Amino acid sequence: MTCWMINTSRENFDITKDQGFKLLGIDTPNRRKASQMASGDRLVFYVQDGKKFAATATVKGKSFQNGSRIWKHHSNRERFRSRVNIELDVMPEAEDWVDAMQVGPTLEYVKRWPPEMWDLAFFGMVHIFSKRDFDLLEGELSRYADESDGEMEEDEAEIETRRPNKGKKPSS
């Protein structure tokens, strides 16, 4: 299993999300990396616009080629032809995404760069990450996703306590 970081724009992240996190398109300069992706590989999504880690997913098959236009790029020629089927694993609400400015400098991956320039490590769309870095990020994302779920369950419980007879016949 290989762990990958996918560096994407917010717009393209939202397109992938709107497509149900079933498909990921890889840009042309990274087509060789896309061809190395295999079923069971793990992905962490870095949204460059806000410098946040947003989600994790699992690759569900080998890469394939398809030229249909789905994602956006500043060059009209780029169609993200190298594609892989994926499945979403963890994604908290956007306000709970993990701040790369906080966690980024602690990642093994950025140690090759001078400390004050660690974020240069994220140039380009596809990067191989260590399992340690991936697990750290997925753990943080899971913690926030779990907190969001817990808050929702608490809110639902509070609503039920305010409406105890909902769906029940009143007793006479």
> Residue 24: exposed, middle, or buried by beta-carbon count in 10 A (0-12, 13-18, 19+)?
buried
Neighbours of 127 (CB within 10 A): 19
CATH of segment(s) 3-162: 3.10.590.10
| Over residues 73-89, mean pLDDT | 94
**What is the reported pLDDT for 49?**
93
- pLDDT greater than 50 at residue 160: no
Question: What are the pLDDT digits (tens) for 98-133?
Answer: 999 999 999 999 999 998 899 899 999 999 999 999
Give the number of other Cβ atoms within 10 Å of residue 38's Cβ.
14
pLDDT at 142: 96
Task: Give me 162's structure tokens.
Answer: 């305010």
Q: What is the pLDDT of residue 156?
A: 46
Domains of the chain, residue spans: 3-162
- Per-residue pLDDT, 72: 87
**Residue tagged 């590989």 (tokens):** 41
Beta-strand relationship, 42-47 and 52-59: antiparallel
* pLDDT, the chain, mean: 88
User: Which SS3 state, helix, strand or coil, does residue 109 take?
Assistant: helix
| pLDDT tens, residue by residue, 53-70 | 999 999 999 999 999 999
